[in-house]
Amino acid sequence: MPLEMPPEAITILIIGFFFFIFAFIRTVWLAVRTKEKGFWYSSIVALMFIFSIVSILLSNPVVCVILMIFIGPYSIFILVKYWKRLILAQKELYLKGFSSQEPMKGSDYLSLFFSLKGWLKLAEKQGKNPAICIYVLFNTLMLLIIEIWASYRFPNIFPFPISLIYMVPAVIISTYFFSIYLEIDQPNKKETL
């Protein structure tokens, strides 16, 4: 028996599907470029989310529930085991050949939307604290735009002032991890973790 879903739910699932396709491609690209096996494991998380969304769209929620049971513990395992190595590998890749004396390019500003490359270069140029302040303002603005759009498009799912409950913790948690990301320094030589 097919699941009855409102068009808003289908729209959200399709947006999520494309988000996780992008996340999968990005982590595979990072795995190939950095040769860090933790990125391969991270790409499996995105792949499981893709399969769970497809299973919901194909009216098979049992597969989605089974995948969700595995995604949580697996994600925590990857985070605990590989987080520092993944951060160091990303920083090494993104800052290779970059000097804080060079001006930022247009592609660096564009990467502020899609990766941490531009943010790392901004922190190298402006300093960590100004970069964190700009990061908070940028994310607040982006989440507010998404919030306004979602409350307008899906008023039954995202009523405007109540859905701010999700936005404030998202900015706080994101900023916390971004500041940790900036604080982890690159080793002078490859260290074994």
Report the mean per-residue pLDDT for the chain.
78
φ/ψ bin of 185: left (φ > 0), alpha (ψ from -120 to 50), beta (otherwise): beta
pLDDT digits (tens, 9 = 90+) for 31-82: 898 888 888 888 888 888 888 888 888 888 788 788 888 887 887 887 777 7
Q: What is the pLDDT of residue 191?
A: 43
Q: Is residue 140 over pLDDT 80? A: yes
Structure tokens that stand for 62 in this block:
């049992």
Q: What is the pLDDT of residue 33?
A: 86
Q: In 10 A of CB 124, how many CB atoms? A: 19
Q: What is the pLDDT of residue 163?
A: 61
pLDDT digits (tens, 9 = 90+) for 152-193: 766 666 566 666 676 777 788 778 878 877 776 655 444 444
The C-alpha angle 6, 11, 15, rounded to 5 degrees, equals 150
